[in-house]
Amino acid sequence: MCGAMCGAMFLAGVLAEPASMMTTSVSIPGGGTLKIPPRCAVTTWKDASSVLTMSHYPGGTSTAGIIPLNPTLIFGNYLKPTMVGECTTSDNSGTWRTARIGPFVSTGGYDWWKFEKWEQLLSFTGEHLIDGIFYAAVDAEAHPILHPPLHSHHTHVVTADTDARMRVLSEQHGDWLPHPSDCMPDCSGIEDLRPNFFKIDGPLHGQAMMNDVRPASSAPMEWYFEASMHTLSKADQAGKTLSKHYMWSPMAMAKGYQRLSAFETFDIPMSGDTFMVYGGKMPFTGSTVHINFHAHMVGFQEGYLFNLATDAIAPSLESQYSHTPATLGFASNKEVAKHMLRNAPQPPVCTASGRRVNISGVLFDRHAHMRCGEWRFAQGDPFTSVSFNGPPRPDESREGNEQQHAHWWVTYTADDGQMSRFTTGYDEVVTAVIQELKEMPSSTPAVMEDPGAQRLFSSHWREGELQPLLVAGAIGIMLTFFVRAAQRRRGHTLL
């Protein structure tokens, strides 16, 4: 069940590559060949301090490279940005525009490099049609440095008038590289949208986070961060304007357990199986072109995206939380999955299966194997995400928790699409999170009164976009910094 939108942009055996877009190739650590944009040399560099804020946290993660030991530190420790430069390469359909920032020098230890408020990305002004996107760390010769040794924790890019955490034109996460079995004979590292395109009017901005996964005190490695986009000189007559909806997974492990994270993750125990269920509604009428999924593969098994309301899949199941298989009377996630697939009125529109690659005895995340079908939806149609988490293999069972996501990005053509729209969220999750916050101890209002919390909160609040999800997302980050201290002052304990 694999159409032109199957498995995102990586399956070159599925996505034919028209000759009009220039590419080159590099080898992927662990196997496979990756198509990337042509390399160009930056000849003019300028101080990046006017367009970028950068911070660095020396190293350490609390889990398998998912979140830092002290998440608050990477939101401080600001460094003076270095340089930014651009270059271009033209082909017979348009232009590859490339921006690089750096150089940076890292020495391993799973350090954290955070780039944010990257304003006026690629110097876009006026209307542009974007049909190809690529992000990577590169060396001084512009050769990509892939994972390992450099891990792309995340990159979010969107139009400058939109919050890049909450809505995205494009994204990249640590599981972006394809598994060798999906490269037949090679894969594309480019988000190839042809013949369709994102239509934007004005500049872009974004944020990114990178990690050097080598052992601490490794040899110094110099690198740059690169963003490349292919813009069309004119629209293909067969092409349509694209939009993207970001299905943002909840931050609660279970009802009554609201440990909100600055990374919007939810806890998953690694001693056994759990599954996360959440849902929402589609914001506009349209048809899918491409669906992408992100989870941390250390604790991910499989995920389903249904074009159904949750009660159509499991009527007795409370949405927006994680559950154990015993909730439905089963012993394992496999039994739950079999039950859902057998009883749902229709199959999922997309299935994602966990993938990792073994490199010198270490397992590294790779892009989920995607099997997606066509999805035609109307405004307000429901969707439900079910993601199965826990040890990917029985011998990986252990005590302790990992941090998890279950994010879906649906790229689609809207029936009324003249300009691209970038949306996010799900009504039910917002309601659940707000209700949980209301039920927290009376110390929570003191958090809102904290001047630091107010500054953080206001940075995620845009006048005219007073949507509940922005509130929930900001509160999630805010609580990470302030709730524990506020509750300690009043004698409460946060789980």
The owner of tokens 């001047």 is 451
C-alpha 178/C-alpha 33 separation (Å) is 9
Q: Mean of the per-residue pLDDT values for the chain?
A: 79
Count other Cβ atoms within 10 Å, centred on residue 314: 21
Residue 68: its pLDDT value, please?
Answer: 57
Say which residues have a Cβ less than 8 Å from residue 221's Cβ, sequence separation at least 6: 105, 106, 107, 145, 149, 212, 214
**pLDDT interval class at 316 (50, 70, 90):** confident
**pLDDT interval class at 50 (50, 70, 90):** confident
Report yes or no: 28 and 86 within 8 Å, Cβ to Cβ.
no
| Amino acid making up residue 52 | L
| Dihedral (Cα; 295, 297, 302, 307), 10-degree rounding | 10
State which of 47-51, 301-305, 416-420 shows the largest mean pLDDT: 301-305
C-alpha 211/C-alpha 56 separation (Å) is 10
C-alpha 155/C-alpha 405 separation (Å) is 15
Q: Rounded to the nearest 5°, which phi and psi values hold at 488?
A: -65, -40
Q: Is the pTM of this model over 0.95?
A: no
Residue 488: its pLDDT value, please?
Answer: 36
Q: What is the largest CA-CA distance in the chain?
A: 67
3-state secondary structure of 338: helix
Residue 150: its pLDDT value, please?
Answer: 97
pLDDT tens per residue across span 150-191: 999 999 998 887 777 778 999 999 999 999 998 866 788 999
User: What is the DSSP pairing of strand 422-424 with strand 300-306?
Assistant: unpaired
Residue 182: its pLDDT value, please?
Answer: 87
Which residue from 122, 133, 130 is spatially nearest to 42, judged by alpha carbons?
122
Count other Cβ atoms within 10 Å, centred on residue 127: 10
The owner of tokens 């750096």 is 102
Residue 57: its pLDDT value, please?
Answer: 82
Candidate from 160-164, 267-271, 489-493 with smallest mean pLDDT? 489-493
414 CB-contact burial (10 Å; exposed 0-12 / middle 13-18 / buried 19+)? buried
Which residue from 276, 290, 308, 252 is spatially nearest to 409, judged by alpha carbons?
290
Q: Rounded to the nearest 5°, which phi and psi values hold at 45?
A: -115, 150
Report yes or no: 368 and 355 within 8 Å, Cβ to Cβ.
yes
Residue 401: its pLDDT value, please?
Answer: 87
Residue range 257-275: average pLDDT? 76
Sheet with 376-377: strands ordered across: 376-377, 286-294, 407-414, 243-247, 422-424
Distances (CA, A) of 233 to 23, 95, 124, 130: 17, 7, 14, 10
pLDDT tens per residue across span 441-474: 544 433 333 333 333 333 333 322 334 444 444 4
Residue 76 has pLDDT above 90, yes or no: no
Residue 279 has pLDDT above 60, yes or no: yes
> Helices 427-438 and 468-489: crossing angle, nearest 10°?
20
Report yes or no: 178 and 366 within 8 Å, Cβ to Cβ.
yes
Q: Can the peptide bond before residue 103 be classed as cis, meaning omega within 30 degrees of 0?
A: yes
C-alpha 226/C-alpha 21 separation (Å) is 19
The owner of tokens 């060798």 is 180
Domains (range + CATH), the chain: 24-232 (no CATH), 243-432 (2.60.120), 440-489 (no CATH)
474 CB-contact burial (10 Å; exposed 0-12 / middle 13-18 / buried 19+)? buried
C-alpha 289/C-alpha 417 separation (Å) is 14
C-alpha 201/C-alpha 392 separation (Å) is 43
Candidate from 43-52, 282-291, 293-302 with smallest mean pLDDT? 43-52
Query: What is the helix (H) or strand (E) element at residue 150, kind and residue range?
Result: strand 150-159
